[in-house]
Structures are given as structure tokens and as C-alpha cells.
Amino acid sequence: MTLEPFGARLRRAMDERGALCVGIDPHASLLAEWGLDDTVAGLERFSRTVVEALADRVAVLKPQSAFFERFGSRGVAVLERSVEEARAAGALVVMDAKRGDIGSTMAAYAESFLCKDAPLFSDALTVSPYLGYGSLSPAVALARESGTGLFVLALTSNPEGGEVQHAVRADGRSVGATMLAHLAAENTGEEPLGSFGAVVGATLGDLSTYDLDINGPILAPGIGAQGATPADLPHVFGAAVRNVVPNVSRGVLRHGPDVVALRDAADRFAQQVRAAVEAA
């Protein structure tokens, strides 16, 4: 059975649980902060604790695939269980894998995460369009078919991104703005929210020169440890702020392994985001 479109499911989750995405980023230093070994056992303890603490209360959980893949097949098995358990508890799962390729290879990446029978089936996938937006066509098609979504890198917060994303095309439009325009076209006519979102850094300051009205979600990393705050969101995203899904990782995860402390931290961020959006 095809799922309800991701955009509709995300809109409902944001309205009911608050607009917050918490990353599951078990890098070695964070495992150490939790008193865990940098092993598969430590990885599993970390991931299961985050899922237990947050999957029944936040709108989105976003595991970073690389931190699981580094342990090989056993790490991927932990990721599979984490995704399944998070979705069973009601969270939407965005797989942060940033896949990007062409033709049959892009199709295989999409099938790995967006095919309903795949072990790593997720509600949405982060993808890179920098082999050309058209290279994402297999993932776009499968997302439409399966009721899942994509988050396309558009204006990322890392300083290196500017040399590509701010480059100006022959038509006078930047590459990042071009990606936003493609997403707006994908989401035309979708209600209450399109399923094809953009990744736009919350640390980028005033983005009023960009048209962020893509009728889809905007995944906004940079809240917390990277320096942005929920109060910054209206200034950065303007009229599109209601469709922003702020991503927090270390700002919440550093409160572990205490389950109550993790929940309290996530609740605080969600409340701050809600207050900022309502005041905009």
C-alpha cells in the first residue's frame, strides 16, 4: 500500500509534535561523552537510547548513515533496527545519506532507502544534486510512487559550499537558487505541503534575495552547537518559516545518556521553535 505523501505526513507531525528534527549522529567523540566505547555495542546503545527517548515525541529523527556505515555490516544492521523502531514509535525518519549519482546507480541508491520493502526504508532521504538536478530523476520518481520525500542540498551552511551553490549561471541565477526553483516546480499544487524539500543552513543569515517559497519543507541544520538559535529562524527564512524543520543534533544529544534529559532538551528546542514561528 502506498503511503500518504511525505509532505502531508510531515505537515501533520510538525503541527502535532512541533517542528523539530533531531539528528542521530554517533560519532566517536559523542560516544565517549556518553561513556560508551567506539564499538558496535556502543553504537547500538547510543542509537537505541536516542530512539527510546525521542521517537514518540519529535516530528523527525535523522540518522547520519556514515556514522553507522563505518562499522561495516554490523553498523548497518544497527541502523536498520533504529530506523524500524523510530518509525514504529511515530517519528518520521529522514535518512541523511546525501546520495547523488546518475542513471541506474541513482536508482539503486533510491531503492535502498525509499523502496517500501528495503531494510533501510525511510520516510525521506537527503540527496546531492550537483551532478545536475536531472540526475535525481530516479529518486524523484520513486519518492512519488512510494509516498516518501527528498531533501535536496541547496544552500548548505558549510563554508566550502559557496563555491558551487553561489556560482552564477549564464542566466544570471545562482546554482542554489536554481535548485530551489526545481523544487518549487516539483511541489506545484501539492497540499498541504509538497514532499520535495531543500536543505538550507540556519546559519546563513538573511536569505531574502532567495525565493524560499518552494511549497515544500526546508530542513535547516545549524541550530545549537553551530551557532544558530530558534529565534533566528524568522530572520533567515522569512515568510517560509512555517515550513522550516530545524535540525538539532549535539544541542540535544549532549544531554545523554539520560533519557529524561534528552527528552527535556528536545522539548525545550521544540517549544522555542514554536514560539519563534508564532511570533513571526
98 is catalytic: yes
Q: Which of 12, 87, 98, 235 is catalytic?
A: 98
Contact 67, 25 (CB under 8 A): yes
CA angle 277, 11, 267 (to 5 degrees): 55
DSSP annotation of 225: T
**In angstroms, rounded to a whole number, what is the distance separating the alpha carbons of residues 128 and 55?**
26
Nearest to 227 by CA among 204, 199, 252: 204
Sign of CA dihedral 127, 183, 160, 95: negative
Phi-psi region for residue 150, left (φ > 0), alpha (ψ -120 to 50) or beta? beta
List residues bridging with 21 in a β-sheet: 60, 247
Sign of CA dihedral 38, 40, 44, 47: positive
The strand pair at 218-223 and 92-99 is best described as: unpaired
* Active site members: 98
